[in-house]
Amino acid sequence: MNRWLLVLVALFGGCQAPEPPQRSPREPAPDVTESRPLKQGFTHRPSPDTPGLPPQIAPLLDEAEVTTAAARAEALGPEAFLAAQRELDVLVKAFEKRPDPDAAARIRERATELARDGELPYRDIEVLYAEYLFPNVTAEVDAKYKGKLVLLEATVAPANMRDFADGFKLVDQDPYVHDPLLLSIDYELSFVECSLAEPSVQPVRDWEPIHLIVEVVGKRYSDLMLRRCVIL
């Protein structure tokens, strides 16, 4: 009897569930460092300290010069603005006929002088787009800018930012040309489209800060259209 009792105890003891293995505490995930963050793409302008971005550039006019130019512009008559437009139009046409660095340098030098004297609008692209933002002021702003040359500060946006199916998946770091050029603004689903005067000689990089002279075409839906753009 005792022998059978021992056999039953042994059998039941063998059927007991094994102790679950002891799990070690979960180790925190290591920090992931992106070696080429620009290859991930951005829907908005990346932070200025993002590795690999093109370097920043100095403005053509400092704040004091911009303030002085605005005061001078208020005192000028329309003839001064028209004369400045005609003079720059000649220089841009010369660039369109023979696009070379010297022609662009002449435009840059003269446009900067005219802007400093208050005879040429000098705008950041964000400011120019903001003036067009509300439909009820479009006619008023068109009267101010449409068909006229403007000196701009801007940042190049990636060419694929229009292609939502592409998911903004690729941002090219190498110099390239795409026409029309897209300029970055901080407004959802809106773009500034800039048709280059001569694309083949104006390579740029994604998110590169640039100065350029442009002719304002006006607003199309929520986009702002520019033409005859010369990167300076």
- 126 lies in a domain? yes
Residues of the domain holding 210 = 50-231
How far is it, in rounded angstroms, from Cα 224 to Cα 220?
A: 6
Q: How many domains are there within the chain? A: 1
pLDDT in tens, 76-86: 888 899 999 99
Q: Can you give the pTM of this predicted structure?
A: 0.76
Q: What is the pLDDT of residue 212?
A: 95
- 26 lies in a domain? no
Q: What is the pLDDT of residue 140?
A: 87
- 23 lies in a domain? no
Question: Of the candidates 176, 195, 198, 193, which has an alpha carbon nearest to the alpha carbon of residue 103?
Answer: 198
- 177 lies in a domain? yes
- 104 lies in a domain? yes
Q: What is the pLDDT of residue 28?
A: 47
Is 78:118 a contact under the CB 8 Å cutoff? no
| Those residues with Cβ within 8 angstroms of residue 113's Cβ, 6 or more apart along the chain or in another chain | none
| Those residues with Cβ within 8 angstroms of residue 11's Cβ, 6 or more apart along the chain or in another chain | none
- 151 lies in a domain? yes
Q: What is the pLDDT of residue 27?
A: 46
Question: Of the candidates 114, 126, 129, which has an alpha carbon nearest to the alpha carbon of residue 61?
Answer: 114
Please tell me what DSSP assigns to residue 155. E
- 136 lies in a domain? yes
Task: Look at the block and give the residue holding tokens 């008559």.
Answer: 77
Do strands 223-231 and 181-183 pair parallel, antiparallel, or not at all (unpaired)?
unpaired
- 42 lies in a domain? no
Q: Taking the chain (232 residues) in consecutive chunks of 10 residues, what is each chunk's mean pLDDT? A: 54 53 45 43 66 86 92 89 95 92 93 95 92 82 92 87 53 74 79 84 86 93 90 92
